[in-house]
């Protein structure tokens, strides 16, 4: 804060010209209050007050206050807005109550005259001129410490003013013309690249109510915050030592450090994590390093769990002794003989018994057998700490026995208990037996060799394709949401909503990897990237007000995206399917075949060989199928991929008539068509022409 030095007292004629002598004094902020003699009654605008606060925070108090003494306090009769700004900074922790404020003390009789003169006559120096004045001093060779000493301010304030002076001259001129607030100028100091500053300003200057956070987000969109988990895990010092660039925001109260080289940070994190995984692999059968994991990441694995170790005899003895004393207290004392000392002793006994029980519960460990069959995934928690997900058993390492667990204990010839060769493994959900009767669809999938994991992948793929179409169609999305809300509000029994109306994403049961780089994923990425979400960065209720002011086109795009976000997933032949979801797909004319084709990895290599040959026989002919009946499964899957691709005439060497069928074939339950090919009861193929009903953006993505 600027500590204005006392001026020399005037003498002679100058002294005679003033109604009463005045003195300068540094007065603690806590002793200052607004005077009723201050002539400014109409408050300034909120924007003007915000700019004043920003100016004082960034550059210090540029002019002293005029006060008169009333008892132990000093009333401010000139400088009320500055006082309010200082008090606001104190409330937000930027200043202490004892912070000294430069004040000129006057006689109370002068208060109204001085207040009127200051508010009507004076014109303050523009902040931009002050920044440039400090920069000029710096160019003359003055150090930051020298400039600070000259003006009675801190070195930190000098650094801030010089940083503001480094903003592009084009932007500084916009600030002078009132096109940009001081907070926006402060936000632009995140980079010294004038071209980048001007580029961002040109892209946002015509927007409504430009906010500093919008500028900061644009400048740091390809960087990591210093508070991110990767930054904490790697360490800013290690990142700098590797040549990483750090952006420091001198004007932000939080998240004021950004790590610009995101690729370098991710590389350092992966290398550090891999080193920890390599160490873990010395204990476990395998260990993987993953920067990001989620719940679905561990669904395919079986599990082994740590087993209790032999209890500590000392703790067992202590626990027994404590229990005996507790029993004694309960037996020998009643309400009349109970004392505070006995109550304190009993509380201590209870606390220690709980501690021992916690220690015993934590006294577990994995066995050597566990280490030989299982592995672990090493990742990073949200707090930036290393996390080990141990005891994971890959499907290929699970024995052929099918049950809830494998490797249970058995009995020897004499009835004694013995250990099986392997550890006790909890199977993944997809491998567990079920006592529920098998329905027709499940039986058909089993006959075709379609495992649960493949069905989950197909369901997730179909869901993603439908989402992509729904997110781009406001009219359908509006009707779906209205239908769901109305049915829910009316409360009909048995109603089954097609949406999760809490707007949580539907659980994606399929493999995340198989949903990457698909036509639908590119479509969703394009749609999400085009949403106008600047309003969401503001605090409530301003965010709501900004949303209300969006053009209808932007609102409709957000509405459709949110509706698609909450869409539930299903295959059309699942048990208890929702007919409304199928109707949504039909209304949108979703062409699954144009968005996804069964290839060797996603389908043919994961089903039974007989199912592939039967499908080929029905759609291509007996000859083609018989010729490949002796193929290895991998070779047959590759042939099926070619003949069922988008262009089987070229890749599979089949006729155009056959290609018209195979290029449109889909596994059972994938299509949104109202009818199927009569030639194959297992086909879900539509009779539409290829890509005919795809939106233009989806045709481009395809």
**In which residue are the tokens 């692999």 written?**
281
Burial of 491 (0-12, 13-18, 19+ CB in 10 A): exposed
- Alpha carbon distance 356, 347 (integer Å): 14
pLDDT attached to residue 255 = 53
Low-confidence ranges of the chain (pLDDT < 50): 1-20, 254, 402-403, 408, 411, 493-495, 675-693, 697-698, 701-702
pLDDT, tens digit, 9 for 90 and up, residues 318-356: 999 999 998 888 888 877 888 888 888 988 998 998 898
User: Other CB atoms closer than 10 Å to residue 182's CB: what's the count?
Assistant: 22
Six-digit token string for 131: 């920044």
End-to-end CA distance of the chain: 61
Q: Residue by residue, what is the 3-state secondary structure of 276-307?
A: HHHHHCCCCCEEEECCCCCHHHHCCCEECCCE
- Residue 677, pLDDT score: 36
> What pLDDT score does 702 carry?
46
**Contact of 255 with 227, CB cutoff 8 Å:** yes
Contact 461, 515 (CB under 8 A): yes
Give the per-residue pLDDT at 292.
83
What pLDDT shows up at residue 402?
Answer: 44
The per-residue pLDDT for 128 is 77
d(CA 547, CA 532): 9
Gap between the Cα atoms of 241 and 256, Å rounded = 20
Please, are residues 444 and 438 in contact by the beta-carbon 8 Å criterion?
Answer: no
Which residue reads 């003007």 in tokens?
A: 48
pLDDT tens digits for range 143-168: 888 877 666 567 777 788 888 888 88
Determine the number of helices (DSSP H) and then strands (DSSP E) in the chain. 31, 18
Distance CA 224, CA 264 (A): 11
Whether residue 382 contacts residue 376, with contact meaning beta carbons closer than 8 Å, is answered with: no
User: Which residue is it, tokens 């001085």?
Assistant: 114
Reference 211, options 174, 241, 178, 184; nearest CA is 184
pLDDT (0 to 100) of residue 447: 84
CA distance 20 to 9: 12
pTM listed for this prediction: 0.40
Nearest alpha carbon to residue 697 among 390, 472, 493, 518: 472
Residue 389: beta bridge partners?
A: 377
Burial class of 375 by CB neighbour count within 10 A (0 to 12, 13 to 18, 19+): buried
Residue 687, pLDDT score: 38
Considering only CA atoms, which of 698, 450, 467 is closest in space to residue 569? 467
């Amino acid at each position: 804060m600027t500590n204005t030095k006392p001026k020399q007292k005037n003498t002679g004629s100058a002294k005679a010209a003033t109604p009463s002598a005045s003195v300068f004094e540094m007065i603690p902020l806590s002793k200052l209050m607004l005077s009723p003699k201050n002539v400014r009654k109409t408050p300034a605008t909120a924007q003007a007050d915000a700019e004043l606060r920003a100016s004082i925070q960034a550059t210090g108090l540029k002019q002293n206050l005029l006060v008169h003494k009333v008892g132990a306090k000093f009333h401010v009769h000139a400088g009320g807005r500055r006082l309010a700004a200082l008090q606001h900074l104190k409330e937000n922790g930027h200043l202490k109550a004892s912070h000294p404020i430069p004040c000129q003390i006057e006689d109370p009789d002068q208060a109204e005259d001085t207040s009127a003169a200051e508010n009507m006559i004076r014109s303050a120096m523009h902040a931009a001129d002050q920044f440039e004045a400090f920069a000029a001093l710096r160019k003359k060779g003055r150090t930051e410490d020298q400039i600070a000493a000259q003006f009675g301010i801190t070195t930190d304030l000098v650094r801030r003013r010089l940083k503001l002076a480094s903003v592009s001259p084009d932007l500084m001129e916009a600030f002078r013309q009132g096109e940009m607030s001081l907070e926006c100028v402060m936000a632009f100091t995140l980079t010294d690249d004038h071209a980048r500053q001007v580029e961002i300003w040109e892209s946002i200057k015509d927007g409504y109510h430009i906010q500093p956070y919008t500028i900061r987000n644009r400048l740091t969109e390809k960087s990591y915050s210093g508070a991110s988990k990767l930054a904490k895990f790697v360490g800013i010092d290690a990142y700098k030592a590797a040549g990483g660039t750090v952006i420091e925001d001198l004007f932000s109260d939080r998240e004021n450090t950004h790590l610009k080289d995101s690729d370098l940070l991710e590389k350092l994190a992966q290398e550090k994590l891999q080193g920890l995984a390599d160490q873990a692999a010395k204990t476990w059968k395998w260990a993987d390093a993953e920067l990001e994991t989620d719940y679905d990441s561990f669904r395919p694995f079986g599990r082994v769990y740590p087993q209790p170790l032999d209890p500590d005899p000392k703790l067992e003895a202590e626990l027994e002794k404590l229990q005996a004393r507790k029993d004694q207290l309960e037996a020998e004392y009643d309400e009349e003989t109970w004392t505070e000392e006995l109550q304190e002793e009993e509380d201590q006994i209870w606390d220690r018994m709980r501690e021992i029980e916690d220690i015993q519960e934590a006294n577990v460990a994995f066995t050597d057998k566990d280490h030989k069959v299982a592995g672990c995934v090493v990742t990073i928690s949200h707090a930036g700490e290393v996390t080990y997900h141990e005891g994971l058993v890959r499907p290929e390492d699970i024995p052929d026995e099918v049950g809830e667990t494998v490797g249970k204990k058995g009995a020897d010839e004499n009835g004694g208990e013995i250990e099986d060769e392997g550890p006790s493994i909890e199977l993944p959900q997809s491998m567990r037996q079920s006592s529920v009767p098998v329905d027709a669809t499940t039986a058909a999938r089993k006959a075709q060799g379609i495992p649960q994991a493949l069905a989950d992948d197909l369901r997730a793929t179909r869901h993603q394709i439908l989402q992509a179409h729904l997110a781009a169609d406001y009219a359908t999305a509006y009707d779906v949401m209205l239908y769901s809300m109305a049915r829910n509000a009316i409360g009909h029994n048995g109603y089954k909503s097609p949406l999760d109306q809490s707007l949580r994403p539907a659980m994606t049961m399929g493999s995340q990897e198989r949903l990457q780089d698909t036509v639908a994923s590119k479509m969703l990425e394009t749609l999400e990237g085009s949403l106008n979400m600047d309003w969401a960065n503001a605090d409530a209720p301003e965010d709501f007000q900004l949303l209300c002011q969006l053009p209808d086109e932007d609102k409709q795009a957000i509405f459709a995206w949110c509706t698609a976000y909450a869409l539930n997933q299903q295959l059309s032949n699942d048990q208890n399917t929702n007919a409304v979801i199928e109707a949504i797909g039909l209304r949108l004319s979703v062409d699954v075949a144009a968005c996804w084709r069964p290839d060797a990895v996603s389908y043919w290599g994961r089903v039974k060989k007989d199912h592939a040959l039967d499908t080929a026989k029905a759609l291509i002919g007996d000859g083609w199928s018989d010729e490949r009946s002796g193929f290895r499964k991998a070779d047959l899957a590759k042939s099926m991929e070619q003949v069922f691709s988008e262009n089987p005439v070229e890749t599979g060497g089949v006729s155009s008539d056959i290609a018209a069928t195979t290029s449109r074939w889909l596994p059972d339950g994938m299509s949104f068509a109202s009818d199927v090919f009569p030639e194959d009861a297992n086909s879900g193929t539509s009779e539409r022409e290829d890509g005919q009903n795809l939106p233009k953006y989806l045709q481009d993505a395809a």
